[in-house]
Structure 1
Amino acid sequence: MESIAEIKKVFADADVSEYSGLIEKYGDDERDGVKKIIASAQKKINALEKEKARSYKMFEFERKYADKGYICGIDEVGRGPLAGPVVAAAVILPKDCDILYLNDSKQLTPKKREALYDEIMAKAVAVGVGMANEKVIDEINVLNADYEAMKQAISKLQVKPQLLLNDAVNIPGVDIEQVGIIKGDTLSASIAAASIIAKVTRDRLMVEYDSLYPGYGFAKNMGYGTAEHIDALKKIGPCAIHRRTFIKNFV
């Protein structure tokens, strides 16, 4: 008879998709340790099934407009920070997309965002990223800078989409049909994917800026107005990437 430790390793080495067969194999084992292993495995199976159902619902808009052709999700990050650019992403997912856990990037852990970023980049039909820096934001305001970043992201797609799914906005000056969805990054897989690409791209950039402009905590606060960041602004003044129109009350 296999030891409990050996059975635990069998489950640890297996994919969740294999758990049902393993539960059937070890289901008659009356040892408490094995029962706990099986109960834990069943929880993971239930969680996966729940995620599959949630993920299916996330593709509701993509299914609704499937006859349009290529559907592109658009989202941006970085409207609120005191420093750094706004970053937008455009993502076209395949119609048979099997990526789970897509959601508003703010609802995901950094580790999960990074893993999904890699999976999206590997599986997407096309990905485009655009950004507008602090000078553009100061010149034309953050909303218009957002639109510029979004248009830039669309222009960088390797294939032209026939429909844009946007997170609540209508992008001016774009000759592609658009559908704005309120809280779209929680309702559309394509918009959620764009949210993740934009967030990870911007976070990585702010980590780089942290080494170029030390003292503000950019790697930690991503340019947002934390107490530490505002205190640094008051003590050492702004750096090159600060948005002058955003920091008038602090310097």
Structure 2
Amino acid sequence: MAEMSIKEIRDQIEKMDEVSKDFLQWLHEDKRKGVNELARQVEQAQERKAKLARQWEEMTTFERALRAEGYIHLLGIDEVGRGPLAGPVVAAAVSLPADFYLPGLNDSKKLPAATREAFCEVIKSQALAVGVGIVSADRIDEINILEATKEAMKLAIKQAGIIPDACLIDAVQLKDLPYKQLPIIGGDGKSVSIAAASVVAKVTRDKMMSEYAKEYPQYSFEKNAGYGTAEHLSALERYGMTPIHRRSFTGVKAQA
């Protein structure tokens, strides 16, 4: 090992699919601090990889249990946009292959924007089916946010274009749905199927709000996604409502 430079050792590590325990031991026994640091970095990377694998195992518990019972075609369903003062509520329905693996997939709110967008592309390219349901602010005002959320979810299921054996849904029970349902509280952090739907829904809605920001630049929708930030509330007070504001929501009512 001593005859190899630190750069050569680093290049060797980068070519390896898996660094063996023996190789790590050699790195630790090398008297050069730079080589010892490489060993530490490799061990940290291995620990991160193992942690993500354990997390994936936990987040596929529901999917594995359903498939063991004979439910093969699964749809994960989630929504984003219940709380904002403006914009639609958006739901997504995603069916993942049984061998799908995307370590780090989690509740979309816990992921950086760049990671969400990259994950969304992977999900869309590898999923068996993806559907999106969008319900407008006017419809939210008409039927209330909970019913609008359920409507968006049903639209997403329809748009997915498959007949599922079971649906894993984040916290909500849908009436008149002719499939087995498994509502899971906090499901976007407990099920990879729901997490995938969470990512697709959030990326879709964030892009919509960025487009609305071009039409209504005073409200900074590209930053707040329609949520009631101080900046947004100040703009509401100064400029009034837009056609995409939810007139039935506190904070918007005052401007009506």
Q: Same fold (TM over 0.5)?
A: yes
- Cα deviation per residue 1:184-212 (whole Å; 9 max; x = unaligned)? 11111101111111111101111111111
Give the drift of 1:38.
1.5
230, 237, 253: which one aligns with 1:248: 253
- Separation in 1 of the partners of 2:108 and 2:124? 15
Aligned pairs for 1:114-133 within 5 A: 114-133=117-136
Q: Which residue of 1 aligns with 2:91?
A: 88
1:206 aligns with 2:222: no
- Structure 1 residue ranges without an equivalent (≥5): none
Task: Say yes or no: does 1:78 pair with 2:77.
Answer: no
* 1:33 lines up with 2:38 in the alignment: no
Write the mapping of 1:217-228 to structure 2, written as runs, cut at 5 A. 217-228=220-231
Report the counterpart of residue 56 of structure 2 in structure 1: 55
TM-score by length of 2: 0.91
CA distance in 2 between counterparts of 1:38 and 1:8 reads 10
Distance 1:211 1:220 in 2: 12
CA distance in 1 between counterparts of 2:254 and 2:10 reads 58
User: How many angstroms apart in 1 are the aligned matches of 2:63 and 2:101?
Assistant: 13
SS at match of 1:79: coil
Rounded to whole Å, the distance in 2 between the matches of 1:147 and 1:14 is 49
Superposition pairs for residues 142-181 of structure 1, below 5 Å? 142-181=145-184
- SS of the equivalent of 2:91 reads strand
CA 1:33–1:155: 2 relative to 1, 3 Å: same
Determine if contact 2:27/2:38 at 8 Å carries over to the other structure: no
2:233 alignment partner in structure 1 = 230
Give the secondary structure class of the aligned counterpart of 1:68.
coil
Letter of the structure 1 residue corresponding to residue 195 of structure 2: A
Report % sequence identity: 46
Distance change (3 Å), C-alpha of 1:126 and 1:35: same
Q: Displacement, 1:228?
A: 0.1
| In structure 1, distance between residues paired with 2:24 and 2:211 | 47
Give 2:6's match in structure 1, choosing from 4, 8, 23.
Answer: 4
Partner SS for 1:65: helix
TM normalised by structure 1 equals 0.93
Q: How many residues align?
A: 249
Tell me how far 1:243 sits from its aligned partner: 0.9
Offset of residue 239 of structure 1: 1.2
Q: Deviations over 1:46-104 (max 9, x none)?
A: 11011101101101000111011201111000000000000000011111111211211
Question: 8 Å contact 1:230–1:250 — kept in the other structure?
Answer: no
Offset, 1:9: 4.9
Contact 1:73–1:166 (CA<8 Å) still a contact in 2? Answer: yes
Q: Which residue of 1 aligns with 2:138?
A: 135
Quick one: distance in 2 between partners of 1:119 and 1:136? 32
SS at match of 1:215: helix
Q: 2:116 aligns to what?
A: 113
